[in-house]
Amino acid sequence: MPGEQHVQRDTNRASDVVAVSSPVVFLAASVLASFASCSSATAPASQSPAREVTKAASASKPPQSAPWKTSLERTGCLGTCPSYWVEVKSDGNVRYGGVGNVRVEGLQAAVLGPDACARIFRKAEDIKLFEMSYQCGFKIFDIPHVIIEATDGGRSVRLDSEWAGNMTDPDAKMHVAINELADLIDVAVGTGRWVH
């Protein structure tokens, strides 16, 4: 029925995920118009690509009890790459938006348990997410992007990675770290139930 919400508890997940489905349909279009090449943000500001990496002035690490938010976006490709985004907040609230080539398009919501939230936060700290700076546009046309955006009590970062797995890339270590965090977010949230 319109406006009715269905709550489903996933009892097979150790992270205690509760999924809330809503009939709301989310329409999103991903427009990728930047054709700048990827590079570490070591170039002077006048030479950096149009997409900016935001870093807060405070370099001190806030305590984990400070509110934080992390989002993952996987963009499509010229084939059947799934396109979706997921946002995780420190209070456990999760929002998912299926855009294309996914099993469930539109908005979904879930709640993560504290252990799953802590794993995501810890991984972001372990890879020094807030110290990374990377900017990317289209370098390879048919590679899906992995975009991680995070805020944490005054610090923020947005990293856009398109990486084909070339370990000779000078930024390979950073790409691996970003993709590991993205994979952890997918597993912790259980996006597979909406994507595959």
CATH number of the domain to which 98 belongs: 3.30.1560.10
Q: Which domain holds residue 166?
A: 6-23+66-191
- For the chain, give the percent of residues with pLDDT over 70: 64
Residue 91 is assigned to a structural domain of this protein: yes
Residue 129 domain-assigned?
Answer: yes
Give one DSSP letter per residue of 54-117, joined into a string: P--S--SPPPTTS-EEEEEEE---SSS--EEEEEEETTSEEEEEEEESSSS-EEEEEE--HHHH
Please give the average per-residue pLDDT across 33-53, as a whole number. Answer: 33
The yes-or-no verdict on residue 30 having pLDDT over 60 is no
Q: What is the DSSP letter of 149?
A: E
pTM attached to this predicted model: 0.69
pLDDT bracket for residue 8 (50, 70, 90)? very low
Residue 86: pLDDT over 50: yes
pLDDT bucket at 121, cuts 50 / 70 / 90: very high
Q: Which residue has the higher pLDDT, 103 or 138?
A: 103
Is residue 192 predicted with pLDDT exceeding 80?
yes
Which amino acid does the sequence have at 5?
Q
45 assigned to some structural domain:
no
pLDDT of residue 59: 38
Contact 36, 49 (CB under 8 A): yes
Question: How many residues comprise the chain?
Answer: 196
Q: Is residue 167 part of a domain?
A: yes
Q: Strands 39-40 and 68-74: what pairing? A: unpaired
Q: Above 90 in pLDDT, residue 153?
A: no
| Distance from C-alpha of 100 to C-alpha of 80, rounded to nearest angstrom | 9
Q: 97 in a domain, yes or no? A: yes
What's the number of domains the chain is made of? 1
pLDDT, one tens digit per residue, over 167-178 is 888 889 999 999
Cβ-Cβ contacts under 8 Å for 127 (sequence gap 6 or more): 177, 178, 180, 181
CA 130 to each of CA 56, 62, 135, 163, 177: distance values in angstroms, whole numbers, following the listed order: 9, 11, 14, 20, 12
Quick: pLDDT tens for 46-73: 332 222 233 333 334 444 567 999 999 9
Contact 91, 67 (CB under 8 A): yes
Residue 60: inside a domain, yes or no? no
Residue 164 lies in a domain: yes
Does the residue 58 lie in any domain?
no
